[in-house]
Amino acid sequence: MSRVPEFRNFINGEWTTSCSGATIENRNPADRSQVLGVFQKSGAQDVLKAIEAAGEAYKRWRLVPAPRRAEILFRVAEILVRRKEEFARDMTQEMGKVLAETRGDVQEAIDMSYFTAGEGRRLYGQTTPAELPNKFAMSVRSPLGVCSLITPWNFPMAIPSWKLIPALVCGNTVVLKPATDTPHSAYNLVKTCEEAGIPGGVINLVTGSGAEVGTPMMTHPEVKLVSFTGSTETGKTVSEACAPAFKHCNLEMGGKNVIIVMDDAKLDLAVEGAVWGGFGTSGQRCTAASRVVVHKKVYNQFIDRFATQTRLLRVGNGLDPNVDMGPVINESQLKTVINYAEIGKSEGARLVCGGNPLQKGELAKGFFHEPTIFSDVAPKMRIAQEEIFGPIVSVLPANDFEEAVEIANDVKYGLSAAIYTQDINRAFAAMRDMVTGIFYVNSSTIGAEVHLPFGGTKQTGNGHREAGIQALDIFSEWKSIYVDYSGRLQKAQIDHD
């Protein structure tokens, strides 16, 4: 039997064990008997060391010229390109999604690193005319200091990279805590950064649970920003923890994304979009299309075709190239999905297909659930309102465009929405009226590009956007600078203040 590898925290440029010596097993959700590695079960003392190291390193890193910082980030991208396949396989094993999707996850980290490396030569501020003669006015970006990054398991390399890379180019240092279920992908990213030449202490990786590691990461006075992606419930805890000291915090949280299918839609496109939007990553994308609102004229036809395509999905181990959908992340998530399938039935929705966990043969080893469709879902049912984060899609009928948009907006979240229609006027009206951070026309709710801002409205976010140049606004703050070369006394300028 081969030895289970042990993975360590990365603190002050050293790979170290947790102060308590405790570890956590990382198991494959497609085969829970497979232990992929053991990771450090860290606590407050480990976090303290990491924050101290980040604080020391900040004194030097903030003074490294941004184009030089960016060159290292460019090398991160180059190494990720070389090791993409290996990292994708590691990710499929620890997280379950199919290889095509984990390749896409690593690719997002690559894209983010290349894009942000370019920003190192820009990080633009403003120069503006001053009000007085012989005076110069400009604004520049300043780093914040030590940033705590707390990330979820569903995009285990992409999301850490979306925070880490912009944080570093702006001149901050970081402590990163990946989700308990997916430390390996974050480890691979941090190892890559080390290999690319990021100096010791600039990035610190501390693995462990949300309560034990996350809490001290949010409350320590040296930490200036908490950047969090995860559930709305945990986001509220983060927000409350940051409030007393007015720490910056950016929150990317839950969703209940929606596809609108109009009567003039190309139905084959809409069905395909609903299948991949709903069941890609087993419905565990933050942008997953967990609701489809369909015009009543094409409602029955849409459901028949959606169910037919869904029944063809092959569920299994994501490393198998013939598999379309992997397991859900863990036992607790599987129980949540099973529970919502029951809730849907008890609320009176019609179960069109699926509805059960998969427990036969090889599938009994992991956390598998059938891709599940409910039709005749009413807008106020829990399955139409609450984030399930699993392979369950609710289909709701609508009488017309206005009603479809109203139903689509009637949730507390606002991440992603899509419309399928051939009518350009309706497409633009929906683009204007959907209260979401991301909107698609004739394409599903999934698939973001790193040079555009990413994030949501309402209880999905707190007003920030990751990715794009907008991410720089999270990880830096503005300083306005006035240079007076007139030699005038201040008193002479007072009426201009």
Cβ contact 150:226 at 8 Å? yes
Nearer to ligand NAD, 168 or 415 (CB): 415
User: Which residue in the set 57, 186, 286, 293 belongs to the binding site for ligand NAD (CB under 6 A)?
Assistant: 286
Q: Per rule CB under 6 A, is residue 470 in the interface with ligand NAD?
A: no
Q: Per rule CB under 6 A, is residue 282 in the interface with ligand NAD?
A: no
Cβ contact 24:180 at 8 Å? yes
Q: Per rule CB under 6 A, is residue 174 in the interface with ligand NAD?
A: no
CA pair distance 45, 469, nearest whole angstrom: 35
Q: Per rule CB under 6 A, is residue 436 in the interface with ligand NAD?
A: no
Q: Is 252 a catalytic residue?
A: yes
Amino acid at 336: T
Nearer to ligand NAD, 286 or 396 (CB): 286
User: Which residue in the set 10, 153, 187, 368 belongs to the binding site for ligand NAD (CB under 6 A)?
Assistant: 153
The candidate with the shortest Cα–Cα distance to 22, out of 44, 36, 41, is 41
Amino acid at 297: K
User: Which residue in the set 242, 253, 265, 434 belongs to the binding site for ligand NAD (CB under 6 A)?
Assistant: 253
Q: Is the dihedral of CA 163, 480, 238, 57 positive or negative?
A: positive
The vertex-293 CA angle with 291 and 295, nearest 5°, equals: 165
CA pair distance 381, 179, nearest whole angstrom: 30
Longest dimension (CA), the chain: 86
Q: Are strands 23-28 and 31-40 parallel, antiparallel or unpaired?
A: antiparallel
CA pair distance 393, 432, nearest whole angstrom: 25
Q: Is 94 a catalytic residue?
A: no
Per rule CB under 6 A, count of chain residues that contact ligand NAD: 29
Nearer to ligand NAD, 353 or 384 (CB): 384
Angle, nearest 10°, between helix axes 424-433 and 401-409?
Answer: 30
CB atoms within 10 A of CB 308: 12
Matching residue, tokens 């306005």: 480
With contacts defined by CB under 6 A, name the span among 12-20, 228-236, 271-279, 356-364 that binds ligand NAD.
Answer: 228-236
Q: Per rule CB under 6 A, is residue 242 in the interface with ligand NAD?
A: no
Angle, nearest 10°, between helix axes 158-169 and 66-95?
Answer: 170
Nearer to ligand NAD, 117 or 206 (CB): 206
Site for ligand NAD in 446-465 (CB under 6 A): 456, 460
Q: Per rule CB under 6 A, is residue 391 in the interface with ligand NAD?
A: no
Q: Per rule CB under 6 A, is residue 230 in the interface with ligand NAD?
A: yes
CB of 455 to ligand NAD, least distance (A): 6
Considering the candidates 194, 252, 370, 466, report the single residue annotated as catalytic. Answer: 252
CB of 272 to ligand NAD, least distance (A): 23
CB of 17 to ligand NAD, least distance (A): 20
Considering the candidates 147, 242, 286, 353, report the single residue annotated as catalytic. Answer: 286
Residue 177, both tokens: 């805590």
Q: Per rule CB under 6 A, is residue 234 in the interface with ligand NAD?
A: yes
Q: Per rule CB under 6 A, is residue 26 in the interface with ligand NAD?
A: no
Q: Is the dihedral of CA 443, 445, 446, 451 positive or negative?
A: positive
Matching residue, tokens 């994708």: 88
Residue 136, both tokens: 């110069």
The vertex-184 CA angle with 186 and 453, nearest 5°, equals: 30
The candidate with the shortest Cα–Cα distance to 88, out of 104, 111, 108, is 104
User: Which residue in the set 43, 104, 201, 254 belongs to the binding site for ligand NAD (CB under 6 A)?
Assistant: 254
CB of 416 to ligand NAD, least distance (A): 9
| Residue span 401-430 as binding mask against ligand NAD, x where in contact by CB under 6 A, dash where not | --------------x---------------
User: Which residue in the set 389, 401, 439, 440 belongs to the binding site for ligand NAD (CB under 6 A)?
Assistant: 389
- Show which residues are catalytic: 252, 286
- Contacts with ligand NAD, residue ranges (CB under 6 A): 150-155, 159, 177, 179-180, 210-211, 214-215, 229-231, 234, 237, 252-255, 286, 387, 389, 415, 456, 460
